[in-house]
Amino acid sequence: MKAKEAFLPDIIAFCCAQSAYQAADTAGSMRIPYPENIRVIRVPCAGRVDVLHILRAFEKGADGVLVLGCHEEACRHLSGNIRAKNRVQKLNTLLQEVGIDGERVEIFTLAPNQGFRFARIANEINERIKELGPSPVK
């Protein structure tokens, strides 16, 4: 019990510069609390995130990964968010093969002004990863 409470997941959040990163910013400036152990990495588009980035994140000890991009139809690069969705789907298979729970990675969409949504997603994932425990390959 104690060990679980002490476990602070290492979560990487790839945030699209056009939406999620700004939402994270909004959350910050509005003082909406979200877990400090979520590490935000800004990418020009969710579609820039490669399966290798996520696999390597797990190699380096991540417990969970978030990919956050624009809502469907709203991608500035037209289909980057769709590609990201397909990649996360493919990634699930790659992770299952290695014995890593697919629940550790998820993709969400949001708009630049959705500070509350960003915080809610971050909290939700944080709780989920706490439940799942540390990554089996740490």
Partner 1 sequence: MIVAERKPLEDIKEMIAGYKKILIVGCGTCVTICWAGGEKEVAVLSSQLRLASKKNGNELEILEDTIERQCEKELVEALKDKVQQVEAVLSMGCGAGVQTIAEIFPDTPVYPALNTKFVGMPEGEGIWVETCRACGDCFLDKTGGICPIVRCAKGLLNGPCGGTNSGKCEVDPEKDCAWTLIYRRLEQQGRLDTMRKYYPPRNFQAVIRPGKVETLQA
In the complex with partner 1, which residue's Cβ is closer, 86 or 113? 86
> Per-residue x/- marks for partner 1, 85-104, CB under 8 A?
---------x--xxxx----
Half-sphere exposure of 56 (CA within 13 A, CB side): 5
Span from 11-19, 29-37, 111-119, 130-138 in contact with partner 1 (CB under 8 A): 130-138
Rounded CA-CA distance 104/95 in Å is 9
> Per-residue x/- marks for partner 1, 9-48, CB under 8 A?
----------------------------------------
Q: From edge to edge, which strands make up the β-sheet containing 38-43?
A: 38-43, 11-16, 64-69, 105-109
**Secondary-structure breakdown of the chain: helix, strand, coil percentages, each rounded to the nearest 5:** 50, 15, 35
Q: What residues line the site for partner 1 (CB under 8 A)?
A: 51-52, 55-56, 58-59, 94, 97-100, 136-138
